[in-house]
Amino acid sequence: MYAGKWSTTREHKVIIKNRASGFLSSIMSVPEFMKDKIDFLSEYNMINETCLKNTPLYSRHIGLGAKIVPFSGWNMPLQYSGIIEEHLQTRDQAGLFDICHMGEFILKGSQAGEDLEKLLTCRIDNLQKERCRYGFLLNGSGGIIDDLIVFKVSEEEFMLVVNAGTTEKDKKWIQQNISEDTVFNDISDRTAKLDIQGPLAEQIISKVTKCETVKQLKRFSFNYVEWNNIKILVSRTGYTGENGYELFCSAADAPLLWDAILKEDGVKPAGLGARDTLRMEMGYSLYGNDIDDDHTPYEANLMRFVYEAKNFTGKQAVIDQSDKGSTDLLAGFICEGRRSARKGFSVIRGDDVLGVVTSGAFSPCLKKGIGLCYINKNFSAENTDITLTDGKVEINAKIKYPPMFEK
């Protein structure tokens, strides 16, 4: 199977749904973001429940016994040996993730840099070649259309890596707001993305690629490696808080690269479940849960990724909100015990409802429940006591600003 191959049969749909439902009844702790998606209940994550794409590594996941679930219009591995085991494997050694569902765009032309300067919140004019930067696409009201990473390939060429569930939305927005001379190319279906994260990632990738220069890459930098006649873009980026790399290659070459990495000692495959708990321990936002079109970078406590000394779409709305303040802000929390709240739980103190939980999971490293919530700014100070409830269960917690886990 390759990226872009559609799976439309009713039988396949039922098999995946049944696998997911059976798995949920037996697992001790499934991250909140997957519970909402497994039964096709999330409009954001499901493009169409009858049309799911397979990544180029789908057959590898089946061969490894992965639990497959629908996510952002794709059949994706939730776990292989177990979410907690894969989480700790990544923290202690290295985990390999299939992230081929993400979108990739190329923008070329003499105006490409200026176009991105106006579209993105991060600074582009001082971005060096073979460096990358995190930022946002905003709408006119300052809401977050998507969070993404921009890679500067050359003075007139840039690559954007966007979320799977927002790829089409991003594509339309960008095409409507770039110069006529800027060439836009969506390379998502023919591009594969593998993430290797963890303390042993550097050692493993330098050995597999037989390239020592990857060790010299600084955070948010990248270069190209030739391996077995395959061109690989290697970037020092990730979504886990660990040292690691993101590897981009053609979809057709992904299985060969996947197999070569997994032959090395110290690395095991990891699914979306572990990726979610890893990012939550760092307090990283998940698009569609913690950030979306209706929330600004200011509300999400992410103004450090907004360069205010330039003009960009949505700037005035964000600046106005920053000046006036916002009722609610995004904050992290740590629960007293192992149990964590789920998305949609209310945040309360006494009889007062202060906010809502946007992400929640069990932290394998802290052995406590953790998560993110939007909460009234007057109660958002570190160590503030809060209670999380769905009306039946009450969980005591304290506000904790990211990261929730520090090595």
**pLDDT for res 50:** 53
In the predicted model, what is the mean pLDDT of residues 228-256? 98
Per-residue DSSP letters for 263-326? TSTTEEE--HHHHHHHHHHHT---BTTTB-TT--TTTTT-GGG--TTS--TTHHHHHHHHHH--
As a whole number, the mean pLDDT across the chain is: 90
pLDDT in tens, 57-89: 999 999 999 999 999 999 999 999 999 999 999
Closest-CA residue to 195 (of 124, 242, 247): 247
Question: Is the distance from CB of 63 to CB of 88 less than 8 angstroms?
Answer: no
Q: Round to whole Å and give the CA distance between 143 and 181.
A: 27
Beta strands in 170-294 (DSSP E): 183-186, 191-197, 222-227, 230-235, 244-250, 267-269
Give the global pTM: 0.88
Rounded Cα distance between 207 and 210, Å, is: 5
Q: List, for residues 312-325, the tens digit of each pLDDT value.
A: 999 999 999 999 88
Burial class (CB in 10 A: 0-12, 13-18, 19+), 63: exposed
The candidate with the shortest Cα–Cα distance to 167, out of 258, 105, 249, 86, is 105
Encoding tokens for residue 259? 């197999």
What does the alpha-carbon distance between residue 359 and residue 341 come to, in Å, rounded to a whole number? 8
User: Is the pLDDT at 20 greater than 80, yes or no?
Assistant: no
CATH code for 327-407? Answer: 2.40.30.110
pLDDT in tens, 192-234: 999 999 999 999 999 999 999 999 999 999 999 999 999 999 9
